């Protein structure tokens, strides 16, 4: 049996982990098992513990990564770290390495050097590639290589892999350079026939009435009236709204404000935060999606229970990697180690 013991930094609610531990290939001898995870957010840790490793509380460490003693973690064979993207996101201030979150990737590098896992998966927003004219991305790649890894970065467009959401993320897979294994980017071709519309994701099958995290969000009368004038696929700025319902906004106009889903397409990107008008809106009903509906767009199963208040759950869901996307990539890693051929494509990022 080849079990890869997985450690995870910035684990969040467990989107990467769920995809990893449910990954299966033709050779059942190869699998990924949870070893430890850490995050600073209490609710996210509680969610991770509930769904990924119930009964193993000590394996989920709630701590600020800057205060965590990395030398006391258990040995691992694989590392995942979706290092915080706030300073690289195109919807943020793009402070990059000068921000609070920008330098946190370095803790992943430290763990690689300390424990030398056989492989790692690192994740961030697509904007990372061009931050600071590409200098930041090149610096991160160089440090991963100097830690002893052959790296394969790729900008994954998850809607091409059957995920019912247009979500574009850079995933970097690293294989330790003394191991004779080559990772290839999995091809989206096997998933092109999947119905990945948001209607299918939310309605097929219907969400059970007793499903957790499915509470409706209250909408003000003005929001209800505004949504009644916005057609599927439209937002508050390109819909024909009466003057009294128009938004009084000057400057940049974000296209996702009060945008209703197009039921016949994947959803637009699920986000973890934002004020009025950013909650993702149903195509037929004048309301925001419930957290359970948002979780379906992130391919979490209905059995996945999120802990915390409604806004905390919203944040956890929006910051996660889609479970199905993680599963596809982790299965490609397992196939690589097992020597099993699979459809692959060239990376779209040259390093």
> How crowded is the C-beta side of 312, counted as CA atoms within 13 Å?
14
Residue 146's H or E segment, with its range, is: helix 135-146
Is residue 323 among the annotated active site residues? no
Which tokens in the block code for residue 28?
């059942």
Q: Strands of 177-237 (E only): list them.
A: 185-186
What are φ and ψ of residue 174, in 5° steps? -120, 135
DSSP string covering 158-207: GGGGT-SB--EEEEEEEEETTS-----EEPSGGGTTS---HHHHHHSSPP
Which one of the listed residues 11, 45, 85, 330 is annotated catalytic?
85
| Three-state DSSP state, 74 | coil
Determine the Cα–Cα distance for residues 155 and 168; give it in Å rounded to an integer.
7
Q: How far is residue 228 from each of residues 157, 231, 296, measured CA to CA in Å? A: 31, 8, 24
Angle, helix 42-51 to helix 310-318, in steps of 10 degrees: 70
Which amino acids are annotated catalytic? 85
């Amino acid at each position: 049996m080849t079990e890869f013991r997985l450690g995870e930094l910035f684990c969040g609610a467990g989107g990467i982990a769920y995809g990893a531990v449910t990954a299966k290939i033709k050779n059942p001898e190869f699998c990924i098992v949870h070893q430890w995870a850490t995050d600073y957010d209490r609710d996210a840790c509680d969610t991770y513990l509930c769904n990924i490793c119930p009964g193993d509380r000590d394996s989920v460490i709630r701590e600020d990564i800057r205060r965590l003693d990395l030398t006391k973690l258990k040995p691992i064979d694989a590392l995942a770290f979706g290092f915080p993207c706030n300073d690289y996101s195109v919807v943020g201030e793009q402070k990059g390495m000068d921000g609070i979150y920008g330098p946190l990737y370095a803790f992943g590098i430290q763990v690689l050097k300390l424990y030398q896992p056989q492989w790692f998966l690192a994740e961030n927003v697509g904007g990372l590639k061009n931050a600071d004219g590409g200098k930041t991305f090149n610096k991160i790649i160089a440090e991963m290589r100097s830690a002893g890894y052959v790296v394969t970065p790729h900008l994954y467009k998850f809607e091409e892999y059957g995920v019912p959401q247009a979500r574009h993320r850079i995933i970097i897979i690293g294989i330790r350079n003394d191991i004779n294994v080559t990772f290839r980017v999995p091809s989206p071709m096997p998933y092109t026939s999947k119905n990945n519309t948001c209607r299918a994701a939310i309605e097929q099958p219907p969400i059970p009435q007793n499903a957790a995290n499915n509470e409706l969000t209250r909408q003000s009368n003005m929001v209800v009236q505004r949504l009644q004038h916005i057609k599927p696929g439209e937002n508050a700025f390109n819909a024909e709204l009466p003057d009294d319902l128009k938004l009084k906004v000057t400057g940049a106009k974000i296209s996702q404000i009060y945008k209703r889903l197009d039921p016949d397409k994947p959803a637009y990107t699920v986000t973890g935060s934002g004020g009025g008008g950013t909650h993702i809106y149903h195509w037929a009903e004048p309301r925001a999606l419930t957290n359970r509906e948002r979780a379906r767009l992130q391919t979490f199963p209905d059995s996945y229970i999120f802990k915390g208040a409604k806004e905390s759950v919203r944040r956890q869901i929006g910051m996660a990697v889609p479970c199905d996307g993680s599963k596809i990539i982790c299965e490609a890693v397992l196939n690589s180690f097992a020597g099993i051929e699979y459809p692959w494509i060239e990376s779209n990022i040259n390093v």
